[in-house]
Amino acid sequence: MMMMMMQLQETTNQKNSLFNAMNRFIGAVNNMDQTIMVPSLLRDVPLDVERDMSSVKTDMDEGDMYSYYQLLKSIRRDIEWGVRCADERRKESMTISRTHSSASVSSSGSSYCSEEEDDEEEADLEKQFQYHLTGLQGVLSKLTQQADVLTKRYKKELGIGGQ
């Protein structure tokens, strides 16, 4: 009995794991990708943002369905393969800033922290991790919804599938 309760609890907790949130998102984007056979049909098809995407607004709210399709596929690629390009851009900008002002020192290098401040920062790492993990799971949930909505809208536009 105790073992069964523990398994139920683990299953509930696993449902909320980051790994499962990423898998749900990737699955929704894969479904979207398999459903949308002609992505170019999404061009210039406006999103009904108020009705379809009210809970998942982004900077691209003025875009069309094709923009959302590309965005979702790009995010899936970043999750599956990493964000190497973003890291390379960051390194590039660091190199550029060093060459433009060789006398400037980064704020982290120029400030001296006491041991007390270091301890506070380390103790705060768990809070920071929880904060960012919660945020990431929330974003992944919204992106999953976005992929599902886009797939449904595509089917509706083409008049296929039973809504």
pTM (2 d.p.): 0.64
The pLDDT of 29-57, averaged and rounded, is 79
Q: Which sequence spans correspond to the domains of the chain? A: 16-47+60-82, 132-162
Mean pLDDT of the chain: 76
Residue 106: per-residue pLDDT: 39
Distance CA 130, CA 147 (A): 26
The pLDDT of 46-56, averaged and rounded, is 60
Spell out the residues 6+ positions from residue 102 whose beta carbon is closer than 8 angstroms to its own: none
- Higher-confidence position of 14 and 79: 79
* 61 confidence band (pLDDT: 50, 70, 90): low
